C-alpha cells in the first residue's frame, strides 16, 4: 500500500532513514576519500619536515663534534677545514654507494 503521511505513524521514521542512507552513500563516495587524501598529505608533509629537521640537526651536531675532537690535535681554524673535508668525503662515499645501487641488473 502506498504510504500516506496522514495515516501512517511510521512515515516520518522511514523518510528520515531513507534520507540518512542517501547522505551516508554520498559521503562514502565523495567526502571520505577526500578527507583520507587530505590527512595523508598533511601527515606526510609534517613527517617529511620532521625528518629533514632531524637530519639537519644531526649533521650540525656531527660537524661540531668533529671540530671539537679535532681541536685537541690542531688549532681551531685547521680543525674546521679538516672536519669539512672529512664530512665531505663521508657524504661522497655515501653518494657513490647510492648511485651504484640505483639501477638493478635488469635495467
Q: Does residue 83 lie in a domain region?
A: yes
Taking the C-alpha atoms of residue 42 and residue 96, their distance in angstroms, rounded to an integer, is 33
Q: Does residue 3 lie in a domain region?
A: no
Rg (alpha carbons) of the chain, rounded to whole number: 32
Q: Does residue 82 lie in a domain region?
A: yes
Report which DSSP code applies to 103: S
Q: Does residue 106 lie in a domain region?
A: no
Q: Count CB atoms within 10 A of the CB of residue 83.
A: 20
Number of domains in the chain: 1
Q: Does residue 93 lie in a domain region?
A: yes
16: containing domain: 11-100
Q: Does residue 44 lie in a domain region?
A: yes
pLDDT tens, residue by residue, 26-84: 989 988 999 999 999 999 999 999 999 999 999 999 999 999 999 999 999 999 999 99
pTM of this structure: 0.64
Amino acid at each position: 500500500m502506498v504510504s500516506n503521511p496522514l495515516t501512517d505513524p511510521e512515515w516520518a521514521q522511514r523518510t528520515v532513514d531513507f534520507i540518512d542512507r542517501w547522505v551516508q552513500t554520498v559521503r562514502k563516495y565523495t567526502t571520505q576519500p577526500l578527507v583520507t587524501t587530505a590527512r595523508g598529505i598533511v601527515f606526510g608533509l609534517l613527517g617529511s619536515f620532521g625528518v629533514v629537521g632531524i637530519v639537519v640537526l644531526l649533521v650540525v651536531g656531527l660537524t661540531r663534534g668533529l671540530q671539537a675532537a679535532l681541536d685537541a690535535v690542531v688549532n681551531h681554524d685547521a680543525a674546521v677545514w679538516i672536519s669539512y673535508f672529512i664530512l665531505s668525503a663521508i657524504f661522497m662515499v655515501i653518494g657513490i654507494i647510492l648511485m651504484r645501487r640505483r639501477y638493478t641488473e635488469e635495467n
